[in-house]
Amino acid sequence: KQKEAQKKLKNIKLMVTDKDEDVFFDDVAGIGDAKVELMEVVDFFRKPELFRASGSRIPRGVLLCGPPGTGKTLLARAVAGEAGATFIALNASEFVEMFVGVGASRVRDLFAQARAAAPAIIFIDEIDSVGRIRGGAKGNDERDQTLNQMLSEMDGFDNEAQVSQMLSEMDGFDNEAQVIVMGATNRRDILDPALVRPGRFDRIVHVPLPDYNGRIEILNVHLRDRSHSADIDMHELSFATNGYSGAQLANLVNMAATVASQRESEQICQQDIEKALEFERLGPERPPFSEAARRRIAAMEAATALTCTLLPAIEPVALVTIVPREKHPLGQTVVKANEARELTGLWTRRYLEQQLLTTLAGRAAEELIYGLDDMSTMHQMRITDARRIVQKLVVSAAMNENPAIGPRTISVPRRVGSLLMQAVPRYLPTELHTVADQEMERLIEEAYDEVKAMLQRNRTALDILIEGLVEKSTLDGDEVRRVVEQHASAEDLQQRA
C-alpha cells in the first residue's frame, strides 16, 4: 500500500527517495546533539504505542535550523531512513509554485497522499520563503494562502489524532496517520510565529557548523567508502578547513578523488587532498600572463616564500605559485595553518614584526631586480597589509616600545553589530598621534631596509626560486626549503635555527 502511494506521489512530480537511496544516522556527522534530539522522531515512527504510553507529546513538525550545507536535508533523510518512512522532499519555492493558481486543494492532496504513504516525512527546504512573517512590504497572496493551508493541515492532525485516538481505544491498537513535516531554514529570525506555535513546528533542532572534531568525523564519513591511503593527516586537514560546512568538506573529498583519478590512481592520498584544498582556497585558474609578467610575479612570490622560510616565527611554506587564480589573480605564497593562533586568534609581537618583513619582501625584490623607475603596482595590496600590521603594533594593540606611547591604545576598534569598523581615535593629546604616526613610519622603513638586506644576502637562493617558479609555476614547501637550506646565507640559516 505504501508502495502504491509512493508511486502516486512520484506521478505528481514530487521528489520521493527510493529505498536504495536511503541514508542513515551514520552518514551524518559533526552536528552536535541534533541526532540525539531527532531520535524522538524515529522512536515515534518505530514504536508509536510505546511513544504514546510514555506520555510524550506527539511530534508533528520539526524545524532544522542552521547555516547552508550543514546537512539539514541529509539529516531529514536519515530520520526517514532510520524509521523506514517515505521521504517526500520539496523546496519552499517549488511548494508555492506548485500550488499557484490551483489554490490550497493541492496542499490537502499532498498531505492526503503523504498519509497514504505513511509513515512519511514531508521535507520542506528553505521554509522561510513560505513561512516568512506575513503582511510584509510585498504582500504575496499566493504564498500566504499556501502557508495558511499548510498550517491548517498541520493543525488538522490534532483533530485526526483525537479521532484516531478514539478508534484506537476501540480497536485496541493505534492507526494514527504518521506524517511529520520537517522544515529547514537558515533564517529562524524571519519565520512567521504562527509556524512555530505548539503543535506545529514546535521541535527546533539546531544544526551547527562542525567544529574541529566534527570536521574529522565528516571527512571520515566521506572517505569511508573511498579507497584512500593511510598518510592523510586528518589533524592538519581539520585545521586547514576551519569554518567549512559539511557540504564543503564533502566537495573537498570529491575534488580530491578527481585529482587522484587525474593521476590515474583510485586511491586518494595526502597530496590529492592538498591539491583540492589549494583549488578551494585559490579558486579556478585564470588565463596565463605574458612571460615578462610571469617573471615579475615570480620575483615577488619567490621573495615572499624565501623570507617566510628564513624567518623563524612564520609557519612553514605549504606552497608558492604564480598561476593566476580567481581569488589571487597574481600569485600566492601559502603557509601552513597554525593551530595555536587559529584557536586563540592571538598574535605575538615577534610574529607581527616578521610578518611585516614578508609583506614588504615583494616590493624589495622588485626594486632590487628592476630598479625604482621600472617598479610596478603589483605589490600594492601587500603594502596595504604592511600598514595594517604596523597599525596593530603601534595603535590598536599597543605593543610599542616607545615610552611616549607605551601600553596606550591610541585608537580602539569600534563594533557596529557584528562588524569590526575602522579604528576611531580616542581623545588623546595630538602629540601622541604624531608620535604614533612617526613610530609606524619608522617601523615600515626599518623593516623595508631589513628585508632588502636579507634578500641581498640571499640573492642566489632568490634567483634559483625565481627560475624555479618561472619554469614550474608552482613549488611546494619542501622544494622551497631545499633551495633555502642549500643556498641561503650562513647568517640567516643560523638565525633560523
What lies within 8 Å, CB to CB, of 136 at 6+ separation is: none
Least gap, CB of 228 to ligand ADP (angstroms): 16
Task: Give, as ranges, the residues between 48 and 107 that touch ligand ADP (CB under 6 A).
Answer: 68-74
Based on CB atoms, which residue is closest to ligand ADP, 68 or 283? Answer: 68
Based on CB atoms, which residue is closest to ligand ADP, 31 or 298? Answer: 31
Query: Could you say whether residue 31 binds ligand ADP (CB under 6 A)?
Result: yes
Q: Determine which residue in the list 5, 116, 218, 464 makes contact with ligand ADP, applying CB under 6 A.
A: 218
Catalytic residues: 301
Least gap, CB of 131 to ligand ADP (angstroms): 16
What lies within 8 Å, CB to CB, of 112 at 6+ separation is: none
- Angle at which helices 349-370 and 291-310 pack, to 10 degrees? 150
Nearest residue to ligand ADP, scored by beta-carbon proximity: 246
Task: Give, as ranges, the residues between 171 and 210 that touch ligand ADP (CB under 6 A).
Answer: 184
Contact criterion met (CB below 8 Å) for 99 and 146: yes
Contact criterion met (CB below 8 Å) for 182 and 201: no
Query: Could you say whether residue 234 binds ligand ADP (CB under 6 A)?
Result: no
Question: What does the radius of gyration of the chain's CA atoms come to, in whole angstroms?
Answer: 30
Based on CB atoms, which residue is closest to ligand ADP, 87 or 448? Answer: 87
How far apart are alpha carbons 200 and 198 in whole angstroms?
Answer: 5
Contact criterion met (CB below 8 Å) for 15 and 89: yes
Least gap, CB of 33 to ligand ADP (angstroms): 13
How far apart are alpha carbons 289 and 322 in whole angstroms?
Answer: 10
Least gap, CB of 164 to ligand ADP (angstroms): 32
Pairing type for strands 61-65 and 203-206 reads: parallel
Based on CB atoms, which residue is closest to ligand ADP, 31 or 365? Answer: 31
Least gap, CB of 336 to ligand ADP (angstroms): 26
Query: Could you say whether residue 406 binds ligand ADP (CB under 6 A)?
Result: no
How far apart are alpha carbons 146 and 369 in whole angstroms?
Answer: 69
Based on CB atoms, which residue is closest to ligand ADP, 24 or 173? Answer: 24
Based on CB atoms, which residue is closest to ligand ADP, 68 or 316? Answer: 68
Least gap, CB of 35 to ligand ADP (angstroms): 10
What lies within 8 Å, CB to CB, of 481 at 6+ separation is: 309, 316, 317
Q: Which residue has the cell 562588524?
A: 419
Task: Give, as ranges, the residues between 246 and 265 that touch ligand ADP (CB under 6 A).
Answer: 246-247, 250
Count, residues near ligand ADP per rule CB under 6 A? 17
Q: Determine which residue in the list 130, 179, 221, 297 makes contact with ligand ADP, applying CB under 6 A.
A: 221
How far apart are alpha carbons 359 and 379 in whole angstroms?
Answer: 9
- Angle at which helices 430-457 and 380-390 pack, to 10 degrees? 130
Q: Taking the mean position of all CA atoms in its chain, how far away is CA 233? A: 19
Q: By CB under 6 A, name the binding residues for ligand ADP.
A: 28-31, 68-74, 184, 218, 221, 246-247, 250
